[in-house]
């Protein structure tokens, strides 16, 4: 199989892509929106069921969106028969392309019965389907939020809670205890490689694969860590953002970080449609420099977009995903 450019977007719900039309700025059409894109496919997960947040009874699904298709019609990937679809509750996702043969692997955080495990699939491009290869469970992967793949069966993952008990989880957040962590997994070893986070959330990697970025959500910051040969992570810096940043996407060309953020955590978890949670998108340029440039690219009070959780760019266009609402595409210029 030839090379296929795929961007993984760790979106909890892109419902507008699959049940409605994309929300866009009035001056844009869908054809114009992606006319200059160099990316072929965008992978999206939907159907997250998370305690305290709105959700549907539909099982989780994985879709692809061909950004060169003028109709922007999402395609649901066929799941294998040997996989339990009824309990599929996808959260963070990551894509790894094997450099030896261009095989594409999809890593999905799954919460069946609100437990945590990682599913590894092989992407079958010609058949628009996924082949389930492995389910990974481990005592150190007890409350996984997001994952970034670094090999065919290896990855870094964030745990967003220290406790398993729901009452203690709530207390942990209320007291803002810095007890969550990042875990490295491979078939040979599993270990905690970074800790001390106030709800470790999104995780991603620099284009040169030297640095790992972690959203320290209740500390209102992003942590930068250097990846060592033994897969341990050494702290480099913490970049304050003044917002509750959820997932991290990295521009493969510029290395810029794009973050979907929550303006008000109380409005997100105590959802009131009359007073909805807002959305904010932040861009970080030159994050490794002494003076990173932090820019608020988009903000809304919730009337247009509720609970932005992720953002990524395609040729001057911005795609924003949310926890349970719709998606928004707009022109960065």
What is the SS3 string spanning 88-121? CCEEEEEEEECCCCCCEEEEEEECHHHCCEEEEE
- List the one residue out of 118, 129, 152, 119 whose CA is nearest residue 80: 129
Is 201 annotated in a binding site? The answer is yes
Q: What is the dihedral sign for C-alpha 247, 252, 255, 258?
A: negative
Is 146 annotated in a binding site? The answer is yes
The torsion angle over the Cα atoms of residues 43, 47, 50 and 53, rounded to 10 degrees, is: 110
* 91 catalytic per annotation: yes
Is 145 annotated in a binding site? The answer is yes
Q: Of 91, 111, 198, 325, which is the active-site residue?
A: 91
> Is there a contact between 262 and 246 (Cβ–Cβ < 8 Å)?
yes
- List the one residue out of 295, 293, 286, 297 whose CA is nearest residue 320: 297
H/E stretch holding 233 reads strand 233-240
> Is there a contact between 326 and 23 (Cβ–Cβ < 8 Å)?
yes
Measured CA to CA, the distance from residue 120 to residue 5 in angstroms comes to: 19
Distance between alpha carbon 177 and the CA centroid of its chain, in Å?
23
Is 247 annotated in a binding site? The answer is yes
Give, as one character, the DSSP assignment of residue 78. B
Annotated binding site: 93, 145-146, 201, 246-247
Catalytic center residues: 91
Annotated binding site for Ca(2+): 93, 145-146, 201, 246-247
């Amino acid at each position: 199989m030839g090379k296929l450019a795929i961007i993984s977007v760790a979106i909890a719900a892109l419902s507008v892509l699959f049940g409605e039309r994309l929300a866009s700025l009035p001056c844009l059409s869908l054809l114009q929106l992606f006319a200059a894109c160099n990316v072929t496919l965008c992978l999206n997960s939907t159907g997250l069921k998370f305690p305290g947040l709105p959700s549907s009874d539909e099982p989780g699904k994985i879709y692809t969106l061909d950004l060169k298709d003028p109709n922007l019609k999402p395609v649901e990937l066929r799941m294998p028969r040997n996989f339990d679809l009824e309990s599929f509750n996808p959260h963070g996702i990551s894509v790894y392309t094997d450099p030896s043969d261009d095989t594409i692997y999809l890593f999905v955080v799954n919460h069946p019965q609100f437990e945590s495990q990682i599913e590894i699939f092989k992407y079958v491009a010609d058949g628009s389907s996924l082949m389930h290869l492995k389910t990974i469970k481990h005592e150190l992967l007890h409350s996984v939020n997001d994952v970034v793949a670094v090999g065919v069966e290896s990855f870094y993952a964030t745990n967003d809670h220290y406790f398993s008990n729901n009452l203690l989880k709530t207390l942990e957040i209320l007291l803002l205890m810095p007890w969550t962590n990042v875990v490295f997994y491979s078939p040979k070893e599993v270990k905690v490689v970074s800790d001390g986070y106030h709800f470790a959330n999104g995780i991603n990697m620099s284009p040169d694969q030297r640095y790992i970025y972690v959203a320290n959500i209740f500390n209102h910051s992003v942590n930068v860590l250097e990846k060592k040969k033994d897969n341990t992570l050494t702290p480099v810096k913490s970049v304050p953002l003044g917002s509750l940043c959820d997932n991290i996407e990295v521009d493969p060309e510029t290395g810029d970080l794009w973050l979907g953020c929550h303006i008000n955590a109380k409005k997100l978890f105590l959802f009131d449609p009359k007073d909805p949670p807002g959305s904010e998108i932040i861009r970080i340029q030159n994050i490794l420099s002494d003076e990173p440039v932090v820019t608020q690219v988009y903000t809304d009070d919730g009337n247009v977009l509720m609970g932005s959780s992720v953002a990524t760019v395609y040729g001057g266009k911005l795609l924003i995903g949310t926890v349970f609402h719709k998606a928004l595409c707009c022109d960065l210029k």
